[in-house]
Amino acid sequence: MAQHTRYGAALLAAALLTTVTGCGGSSPEDPATEQGAPKRGTPVARAAPAKGFTLVATGDILPHDSIIQQARADAGGGDSYDFRRMLAGAKPVVSKADLAICHMETVYGPDGGPFTGYPAFKTPPHIAQAIKDTGYHSCSTASNHTLDAGAAGVSRTLSAMDKAGLKHAGSARSAAERTRPAMLEAGDAQVAQLAYTYGTNGIPVAADKPWIVNLIDPDQIIKDARAARRAGADVVVVSMHWGTEWQEAPNRQQLKVARELTAARTDGRRDIDLILGTHAHVPQAYEKVNGTWVVYGMGDQIAGVMNDPRGSMGSAVRFTFAPPARDDEAWTVRKAEFIPHLMASSPRFDLVNLPRALADNPDRAEYVRARDTIRNAVLSRGAAKDGLTMGR
């Protein structure tokens, strides 16, 4: 799948995006539509898109020390690290998607290390190419660990992603970069990805770099979504690092912000088309809110062994989007699926697609328990009645 930025329109819209300064702040009304952009409510003069697309998204990539050691062993030791084997279980689903989005929770260390896991992560930058080779096109980078290595960590991470050909959203190296969402092509759609986090583990955002990481502020998120739409986005996807760790139920902030974001409209058309959640380390529910799919939490995708076995469980999102009859109308999710997965740790760390694995070995108790735990969490707020099914 090709991917590119609509540079001309994006630069026009960039001026409309203001810098995020913190959580809970308010934003002024959007400025008037800039010169050269279509007026609100005016259909764009081009043929309605005909080709839909599939979007796949997955949860936290969180390389603990044990994961880093496995990657080093998979590379044959020495100074290299190979994360592709661990991610191989995701490739059949990810590589077939028109658009695949990951969540890179950690920042990268220098090329020669040192590399560290919890509590202040510095991941080998080799992982960026492994993510790209698995089939991902873009990653959210706003998390509570974004500032673990300061501005240098952010810069290393985004530069490694650039080198690998991965788009990214949620952190930035400059104020100008903050204003540009990740713009991607999928089918006949232009898809914008935005990303935000609830906080940074108490590490303050430097006063001279307020743009370095996007913090959750509903007013600002809606402004950013509207600017992305004016820049040409047919579909706006918002990645949210939020929730309470180890709690399957969405917390008060998740519920409140989800209602506010999905209620936002411009000339009757929703501003945000999909919300993807990360951070809680456990699978959380999917739910339609104001007619828009909200995935409160996908759980971990890559992580070391934790005290709670649910830390190795997660779900992949697979939504099939259909084009509208008119270009000024919203794209819709025609098919909604979740795919449960497990980060197996014995005899080695490997990502397991549970429906595929259980098709070959239906009585493996560890896999049955994980699948059922994930399914119960995902469907806990009634998503089955809105058509969500388990894929493979």
Q: Is the pLDDT of residue 34 over 90?
A: no
The phi, psi pair for 28, rounded to 5°, reads -70, 170
Compute the average pLDDT of residues 304-317: 96
pLDDT of 33 over the 60 cut: no
Q: What pLDDT digit, counting tens, does each position of 116-167 carry?
A: 999 999 999 999 999 999 999 999 999 999 999 999 999 999 999 999 999 9
Strand segments, DSSP code E, in 159-284 are: 167-169, 182-186, 189-197, 235-241, 265-266, 269-270, 274-278
Q: How far apart are CA 303 and CA 51, in angstroms?
A: 36
- Rounded to whole angstroms, the Cα distance separating 130 from 94 reads 13
**What is d(CA 379, CA 373) in angstroms, rounded to the nearest whole number?**
10
Domains of the chain: 49-390 (3.60.21.10)
pLDDT digits (tens, 9 = 90+) for 210-268: 999 999 999 999 999 999 999 999 999 999 999 999 999 999 999 999 999 999 999 99
User: What pLDDT score was predicted for residue 78?
Assistant: 85
Distance (Å, whole) CA 41 – CA 333: 22
Alpha-carbon distance of 116 to 41, in angstroms, equals: 51
Phi, psi (degrees; rounded to nearest 5) at 185: -100, 140
d(CA 287, CA 129): 33
DSSP string, 51-86: --EEEEEEEEEE--HHHHHHHHHHTTSTT----HHH
Residues 156, 318: Cα–Cα separation, whole Å: 30
- For residues 363 and 38, which has the higher predicted lDDT (pLDDT)? 363
Q: Are 351 and 345 in contact (CB under 8 A)?
A: no
Residue 50 pLDDT: 72
C-alpha dist (Å) from residue 45 to 39, 49, 326, 327: 12, 12, 10, 8
The tokens describing 1, both together, are 């799948």
Answer yes or no: is pLDDT of 271 > 50: yes
Q: Is the pLDDT of residue 326 over 50?
A: yes
